[in-house]
Each structure stands twice: as structure tokens, then as C-alpha cells.
Structure 1
Amino acid sequence: MPRLIFHLKAPGMSLKESVQRCLWMLVISAGLAGCSKPGVNDLYEGQKALENGELQKATASFRQATQLLATPARAWNYLGLAYQRDGQYIQARDAFMQALKHDENAAQARFNLGCLLLENDQSSLAIEQFKTFGMLRPEDPRALPYLALAHLREGDLPAAQAICEGLTNNGKQSTAQALNLMGLIQQSQKKPREAYNYFHASLEVQTDYPPALWNQGMTAFPGLNRPDLAVKKLREFNFRAAKHPLGGVAKEHASMLEKQFFTAEESKPKPEESADPP
């Protein structure tokens, strides 16, 4: 059965692949064009190649930049991103570590390394990196959701809960993400109704937040024994995230539930007839 999600990712897809699809663009900075110092042009060309999905070209450019730049920490960080997007975990880890070797205060490399470790089920090591990132950039809450997820994976539910509660005042998107995470915390405690309510609260904050819709569908059945509600939520997810790989999975799973529980055409649930549970 498909799993609950933290970000948009296909069931069975590792968090590594999720971050490769959804997060890597967050850590790429611009503004390098027009520079002519040794290695800077390679860094800029690598960035363009990475944005265009030309991973081999990006890797070659970033490697060259690491050899030419006087302070190569940024180039090593970009090289790590290129390897990460290409699914080369060991090489990505080593590149991020090289970035930190050249600059132990390279906050972005800390964040990226933390994500990489979390993606590969090394939650305890990820916690260390995210905490260090927070100390280096106390005004940047970007790592907090991942720190909460890492604590959740380590079974430290109070720590995960405390972080999520703090995120609920950091803007619309952070609040929706935090409430979705709190739903995952409840689900980990086998409390499907409480989990569903948190997913619902997430959608009240941000109606177009697909992860919460997906999680509602996955929680409605079998957790709440409401296949009709699961079909409704999965259809809604499919409508809002039709171009994402999960869109097709949602459609397939909804069809499977319909065939299993609603054999006659007239008995199939319609969205307007499937009210959310109280």
C-alpha cells in the first residue's frame, strides 16, 4: 500500500529521489555571470548545466572549478548537488564533506549534507548537520522541517512535535508543512483520526498543498475505514497534482478502491456525497 509523504514523491520512492525532484533548486544561488576570475566561469557554466539537467556537463564544470578557485567550498557544494541529483550518494557525500573541509562554516553545505543523510536513512547524523546549520543561520528556518522529520524517524516524538509547533507561526507554507508533519507524527502513533485532522488543518491553511491531500487519502482507508473518502481525496489530489508522478498513482489507487468496494456504477462515491469525517 502507498505510504504517507512529507513532500510530493511516489510510493516506494526514497526521500533521496523526492529531494532530487523537489528540493535541489532551493539551494542554487545565482549572480555569478560576468565574473572572470579563475574557476568562476566554470562555476557559472556548471550552474546553468545543472539547472538544465545536463548532469555530466555540470559535474565536469564543478570539478574544474574546485581546482581553480582560491576558495573552492562553493564549488564542492555544487558538485555535491550534481552528484546528488544523479543519484550518486557516496560521491555527493564526499563533495559536501570537501566543502566543509575548506569552510566548516559553509551553512549551505551543512544543509545539503543533512538532507542527503536524511534521504539515506541516516537520521541521527542528519540531526547534527541541521542543528549546526541552525546555529550558523539562526534566522533561517529552512532546516527545521527536516530536523523535525529526522527526530520523528529517530523516534523522538516530543522533539519533532516541539519543532512543528514552533513552525506554525512562520508563514502560510511553513504552517501547512508543519501541520502535515504533525499528522505524520500522529500516524506514527497509530492515531489515524488525529492524523487526518492535522492533514485537514494543513489544507485549511493552504488549500493547494498536495501532500496533505495525499495523506488524507492514505489515512481515510484503511485507517478510518472510509474507502469512499479515500477515493474522494485521491481524486482531488490527482486533480491538483496531475503532472506529478503521484498523480497517476493516485488515480490508479482510487480505481482499485472503487473496484474493490463499489462494483456497480451507480454505487461509486461522488465527491459531493463523501463528507469528511467529523
Structure 2
Amino acid sequence: MRSRVEREKRLHCTGLPPKGTLERPGLTLSWGKCILRRRGEMKRTSYLAFTLLVALAAVAVALEGCSAWPFGTSKEGLEEAIAEFRQAVQWEPGNAEAYRYLSLAYKLDGRLEDAIATYQKGTEANPEAGWPRVGLGKLYLEEDRVEEAIAEFKQAIELEPNNGEAYGYLSLAYKLDGRLEEAIEVYEEVVKVNPGRAWPYLGLGDLYMNQRDLEKAATEYQRAIALEPYNGETYDRIRLAYDSLSLAYRLDGRPEEAIKVCEEGAKVNPGRAWPYLGLGDLYMDQGNLEKAATEYQRAIALEPYLVYGYERLGKAYEAQGDIEAALVQYL
């Protein structure tokens, strides 16, 4: 016989609390999320697989001493999720997660006005909190109600000046409305409030990429990396910036400048393969096959599982007439 603590821990992990016995919002949220997850899984699997999934879950619940598995159709499951989340909101009006999932459940049920009303009630119940206004603004964005979304994001920032999500969505709203300069100004303001964080610089870099100002984008991504050198997202974006800038020079017939960009990329990212792949491609364009092969070899040494690195090295050998060496790379 499991102890009460063990039983409650299992209910949280599985999201399968027995129907009618929920006494705390945390368990209610777990149960509602479980229903939503199962609804998504039914879309991705066959009916037979879903039936087996429900049957296995029913066995798990039965082992915990419950007599029934309270699952109906997709629509019924969604309605039950809504009921559970509404109960959680009543119990804890300040529970951001409850409002978020209740709003999501309404959206999935095609009841967008109810989803919006959920966050509106959240703002009334939590007048000093920024999260309900961010949630409301996001829904307005989905409905192309950009000005209303902007107003909510601004209000969230007034309430919580360090709310990064509010700043990010405010900038996105301006961007979607074609107001790129204002979108940039938002992130520049964030830098003043959060000078030691990388994400504002990532946002600025993305906006400069949209403007095709690749050099500025690369600069902002470099700043992000300097602040958070272990953030993989920053490296992915700076790679895009360097690759795009190098490609722009390459297409414009300025190969030397393209090479300099890749060399700079190698300095900034000494342990990554992509700058060397770029250099190899540029040397291939110039017909400098030995240098191209050398750069491809460097890329492979850094990332041995990079399949297209071997393919490019094989092409370099093939162009030099060394078919045997090329075949080794292709194999």
C-alpha cells in the first residue's frame, strides 16, 4: 500500500488523478493538462493506438485504487479539462498557469472570446501582475488586433519593468505592424533595463536581419554571445548572420570580403565547423582546391559527424582528380 505522499507524487507525475477527488489546484492542473495531452496524441496516432493508450492509463489508475477511467471523446475530454481549469482558477485566482491552460483549452475548443475573457478576468483578479496582460496581448495578436495587443504589452511593462516576455512581444507587435524602428527601440530600451542579459541583443540582431543589415546583426549576436557564451541559441543566430553576410558578399562578386567574414566567424566560434565550411566553399569558387580541402578537413575535425562536410571534401578531391580519395569521403 503506497503512502499518501507517494500517491500524490505519482498523481503529479502521471497527470491521472481520480475523478471527483481533487482537493488542490496543483492536482487539478495536472489532470487538465493530461486530458489536453491525450487530445493531441489522438490526432497523431491511429484510433487503435489511442484506445490502447487509454486502456493502459485505466490500468494505472485502477492500480491506485480508483474504480473508473473518466475519459470520453476528444470533445468530452476538452470540456472536462475546461471544467478542471476553471475550478483551479476559482481556488487560486493568482495562479498564472491555471489561467494560461484554461485560455488554451478554450482556444482549442474554438471559443476565442472565452479565451480572451479568461485573461481579462486575470487582469481584474491580479491588477498588479504583468502576466495576464501578456497573455491577453498574445491573443489579440492572433486576432490581428495589433493596437490592443500593443496596449496590453505596454501595460505589462509598466507593471513589471523586467518582464522580458512583454518586451519581446511588444517588439514583435511593432514588427508585424511594419514599424521596425519602434521594434528596435523596444530592445534598445530593454538593454538599459537588462544590460547583462543576452536576449535583448538577440532580438536586435533578428530585427537587423529582417532589415538585411547583416553587419549590425552580427554585431548584436556577438554581444549576446559575450554575455552568455554557453547559450546555444546565440550561436545558431550568429551563424545565420555570418552565413548570410558572407553569402551576400559572395553573390555581389566580393569574394575577399566574404572570406574575411568567414575568418572572423572562425575567430568568434573557434570550436564550430560552419566557418570552415564557408571558407571551403569560397575557395572552391575560386578554384583553389587545396585550400578548400584544408578548410573542409578542419570542419570535419571539429564535427566528425557532419555528413555534408565529407561530401564537400569529396567534391574537392574529385575536382583535383583524386577519385580514390573522393570515394573514401563519399563512403
Please indicate, yes or no, whether the TM-score normalized by the shorter chain is above 0.5: yes
Which range moved further: 152-161 or 39-48? 39-48
Question: Contact 1:74 / 1:99 at 8 angstroms: preserved in 2?
Answer: no
| Contact map agreement 2:25 2:91 (CA 8 A) in 1 | no
Q: 1:193 & 1:262 partners in 2: Cα distance?
A: 32
- 3-state SS, counterpart of residue 225 of structure 2: helix
Counterpart amino acid of residue 208 in structure 2: Q
What residue in structure 1 maps to residue 115 of structure 2? 95
Match of 1:150 in 2: 173
Corresponding residue to 1:81 among 90, 101, 110: 101
1:44 matched residue in structure 2: 26
Contact kept in structure 1, 2:36 and 2:105, CA below 8 Å: no
Which stretch shows the higher mean deviation, 100-109 or 180-189? 100-109
| Equivalent residue number for residue 113 of structure 1 | 136
Bigger fraction of residues in helix? 2
CA RMSD in angstroms comes to: 4.7
| Residue-by-residue CA offset, 1:31-61 (whole Å, 9 max, x unaligned) | xxxxxxxx99353223334677964689735
Tell me, what secondary structure is at the counterpart of 2:118? Answer: helix
Q: 1:147·1:160 contact (CA, 8 Å) conserved in 2?
A: yes
Deviation readout 1:54-76 (Å, 9 max, x if unpaired)? 64689735523525865885579
The 2-side partners of 1:49 and 1:75 are apart by 16
| 1:45–1:54 Cα change, 3 Å | farther
Deviation of 1:264 after TM superposition, in Å, equals: 3.3
- What residue in structure 1 maps to residue 15 of structure 2? none
* Structure ID, larger Rg: 2
In the TM superposition, 1:8-23 aligns within 5 A as none
| Contact residue 111 and residue 130 of structure 1 kept, 8 A | yes
Q: Which residue of 1 aligns with 2:83?
A: 63
Q: Within the alignment, does 1:126 sit opposite 2:149 as a pair?
A: yes
The DSSP-based 3-state class of the residue aligned with 1:41 is coil
Which of 183, 189, 193 lines up with 1:160 in the alignment?
183
Task: Say yes or no: does 1:263 pair with 2:315.
Answer: yes
> Is 2:197 the partner of 1:175?
yes
Query: CA offsets, 1:208-231, max 9 Å, x none?
Result: 222221122222234322699499
Q: Deviations over 1:134-154 (max 9, x none)?
A: 234456454112212322232
* TM superposition score normalised by structure 1: 0.56
Take 1:258 and 1:125, find their aligned partners in 2: how far apart are those partners? Answer: 52
Offset at residue 185 of structure 1 (A): 1.8
Q: Does 1:197 align with 2:249?
A: no
Is this contact kept in 2: 1:200–1:216, CA < 8 A? yes
CA distance in 1, matches of 2:136, 2:109: 10
Residue 186 (structure 1) aligns with:
208
Distance 1:45 1:180, change over 3 A: same
The answer (yes or no) to whether the contact 1:192–1:224 under 8 Å persists in 2 is: no
Cα distance change, pair 71–206 in 1 and its aligned pair in 2 (3 A): same
- 1:180 shift after superposition: 1.0
Q: What secondary structure sits across from 2:175 in the alignment?
A: helix
Rounded to whole Å, the distance in 1 between the matches of 2:28 and 2:161 is 30
Give the Cα–Cα distance (whole angstroms) in 2 for the partners of residues 214 and 129 of structure 1: 31
The alpha-carbon deviation at position 186 of structure 1 amounts to 1.3
- Over the matched positions of the two proteins, sequence identity in percent amounts to 16
Between 201-210 and 120-129, report the one with greater CA deviation: 120-129
Q: 1:176, CA displacement in angstroms? A: 0.8
Distance 2:83 2:96 in 1: 8
Deviations 1:65-121 (A, max 9, x none): 525865885579625436638983844663342341475336422112323444677
Task: Provide structure 2 residue ranges, at least 5 long, that are not aligned to the other structure.
Answer: 1-20, 39-76, 248-257, 275-302, 320-331
- Could you say if the C-alpha distance between residues 67 and 48 of structure 1 is closer, same or farther in structure 2, counting changes exceeding 3 Å? closer
Partner Cα separation in structure 2 for residue 114 and residue 169 of structure 1: 23
**Distance change (3 Å), C-alpha of 1:217 and 1:205:** same
For 2:95 and 2:80, the matched residues in 1 are separated by 11
The 3-state SS of whatever aligns with 1:143 is: helix
Quote how far apart the aligned CAs of 1:156 are.
Answer: 1.8
